Structure 1
């Protein structure tokens, strides 16, 4: 059967086996449509018109992360299929909500069987594995215990953020996500993960406010995460962005704890950190902070002992050093990456700051270069 040949990746997908489908055909009623899901939560809908078998699918109601794949492989002792191949295989199929798929089939049948009642749905009892949830339920006294642990982890997560402890925050974020996974199916949807990101953003904003982080910095970090997750189509990436947001909030809070700068200066430093590679205009920075240019210069001089322009110059040289140490990019490319179009001017600034040329600095610090010598 061509359907089975082209749509399976592993022998464990028994419901896609041609013999299984043909056997089911012989026991199907024309009054029902049948929603089937294999061990990988890949679904098909099968139904009869006259004596002909029709199949909608395969489709995936939920998206899977690498962690989801690992869990399925462990529970079913799958050791002859790579997770990367599995995820690529799942991505071949459209992601469609089960209710929508059922609606599509019934709409199609209405065109052919206008005088017949809408068919009911049957879900044969060999879909996805609930073992993980069942085992977990038996290990807990009741659902209230799960909520209490979730609440405690949320509080510990917020305490970690307030301290600026990213390692601890990520640990409790992982625990919260693990608790949630016990009460849902393996897999998720992009919309669910975006909502999860939004909830985490709200928690981070509240904790950061308690830590004393300025509204400007909170908004900058939150907005960055919102932009990244809005159009992202990969769940693993969305989860990665969530972790990066946690780290960025903690880093900002740590910097706040280490210095006694005013909120305006902290906001300026955050702006320069995020926009160092762009053209810089003092008027623009002052407008961004909603203060006059003269007050900005006065405040910078008072708290940092320098001007915004000189501070940015040092920051750009620091960024250039990182690129010289970790990449093989050309001097011209690095110059452009840090916002200096003229590479000759960049070399001049670099030498003034570091008392050596970028090439000399790279030779002394770049591990890749050392291996080549």
Structure 2
């Protein structure tokens, strides 16, 4: 069936197009988007025969969207509709070989004529890109050699897996990268109903995270890698290619993983940014993909203090700074550094500085006046 992507930030226009397609009995499968960037993502993940787009839209206008579409699929038919009767828009639309530039409100007759012309064009020339895509879809998951199928059930969403992979690379966690990257690949190993275009898009997103983590690779290597992903014909070839990059990053992390400092530094940075939150050992361990017991032991060995004492030290230093430099109420300061119980806060503050917050404030102000 012929497919069409309709892009307009006014959802009412979608209803108009749907009505006209039905009225004139155009047997076309339609998808909808309300902004240019969302539509761009759909074009990356799917192949459409027709793009019907507004010109002025949020994030990415229809002319740029049409250029992107033509670069990916030169045989896609373009039809613009817009409320702007602007010669420059029309001129650029024609340069993209658009069928028509229909002004809103859409004239039913003009729409019908434009659609008939588009369908005639598709019928005459066929769509070699779609035939190629169909062939790829049929052969993409074919195994080149018999393998024992071991089904992997992954409940995590792709965005979550990619975020975990990004976090693992950022903090240098070998174990987390190895686990999440292979979960992502394994999730689609036998998912034969998933479009090969989406798989390529997903693996491109994975390489976007991995390649910058490999020392010495030039910037253009990423573009070459993406081009390679879109030329490989089989899922197994695609997996082998991506696995090379996973292995390279894992090797880098393994070299750096000889010391636990990467995890400790990340925990310290996290505490300094989130000292006002209700921090727990489990929460901090989750940040660096370590067990709570192991993190607690390594933190003490590396820093010479426990996690609880370090968190308390960071909070009280910040409290002392706020007490010294502001006129905020002590209760407000207590809350802002992570101690909702002001009495408990004052007890800890007194233990740390040998005086209450009020006396600390008075004393520092007196010293400042005497110094002046």
Normalised to the residue count of structure 1, the TM-score between the two structures is: 0.31
Which is higher, the Rg of structure 1 or of structure 2? 2
